[in-house]
A and B are shown apart, each in its own frame.
Chain A
């Protein structure tokens, strides 16, 4: 659906991590943050309402 709406799929990530796997969780977060930094600011940050009001 994201792709259909023109939003990069890489901006959404779902991972299954147990509460007992802290290092795994940290790894998921840090690697995803790194990926997002590379992608740059989200197009959704633009304020679409302001153009209208």
Chain B
């Protein structure tokens, strides 16, 4: 799979279509984000599979936003999985990236990763390399739904109380791009208190993930306290599906139904 990606990237770089390819590199025993440019050695390129598939993923779209801001005239290619692709589509609708300046290089996720993520679409819209895996089976949300109310409450409170308010979840989140963050506002979230006010802190983030969370699961991977954040945001996503028939990032150009102001102004 990686050879196909290398060839594709080389072709894009040589043709001058893109200024650089934002992907991953294996360096000094670690996998890290890297911007490959024309003439660079593509030999150390990685697809984010260290010991098991997809265990070294990064929010590449988040870095791409910064790149695009610094070089607004340039076109960049970026390595995308199914979740990153949903992220790109959503970032386009939020005007964080210009689709004309982004060339996605899509890879599919293997079945084991799709199952672990309970991912409903473990492949991007345009696939450069790889075979489509079957969607994972949703389990985590149903497991919490199966609990009675009092058990649910203590389950979540026992998880939330572990929070050390490191902001890892929002720092790693490719969809967290606001300049001002509610969770970093002193008047709303009191500084110097651990854990933060629960469950309000986590519910606030969950509410802000409505129509934004693309279910990449990086938050849960980043959380040093292993709070099952992904399950919380998966629930948010499932409510959006039930109520509005909207899956974040699934359809290109489709805005969140909560952006009603666009419809009022007659824009699309």
Query: For B145, what are the chain A residues with a Cβ–Cβ distance below 8 Å?
Result: 4
Number of A-B contacts (CB under 8 A): 44
Cross-chain contact of B144 among A4, A7, A8, A52 (Cβ < 8 A):
A4
Q: How large is the interface on B (under 10, 10 to 19, 20 to 34, 35 or more residues)?
A: 20 to 34
User: Would A8 and B149 be within 8 Å (CB), given that A48-B157, A48-B198 are in contact?
Assistant: yes
Q: Which of A1, A3, A6, A52 has the most CB of B within 10 A?
A: A6
Measured CB to CB, the closest approach of chain B to A12, in angstroms, equals 11
Measured CB to CB, the closest approach of chain B to A9, in angstroms, equals 10
Residues facing A in B183-209 (CB within 8 A) are 193-195, 198-199, 203, 206-207
Residues facing A in B144-166 (CB within 8 A) are 144-145, 147, 149-157, 160-161
Query: For B161, what are the chain A residues with a Cβ–Cβ distance below 8 Å?
Result: 48-49, 51-52
Q: Are B236 and A1 in contact (CB under 8 A)?
A: yes
A5 at interface, CB cutoff 8 A: yes
Q: Select from chain A the residue with minimum beta-carbon distance to B194.
A: A49
A8 vs B149: C-alpha distance when bound (angstroms): 8
Measured CB to CB, the closest approach of chain B to A10, in angstroms, equals 12
Which residues of A pack against B, CB within 8 Å? 1, 3-8, 43-44, 48-49, 51-52
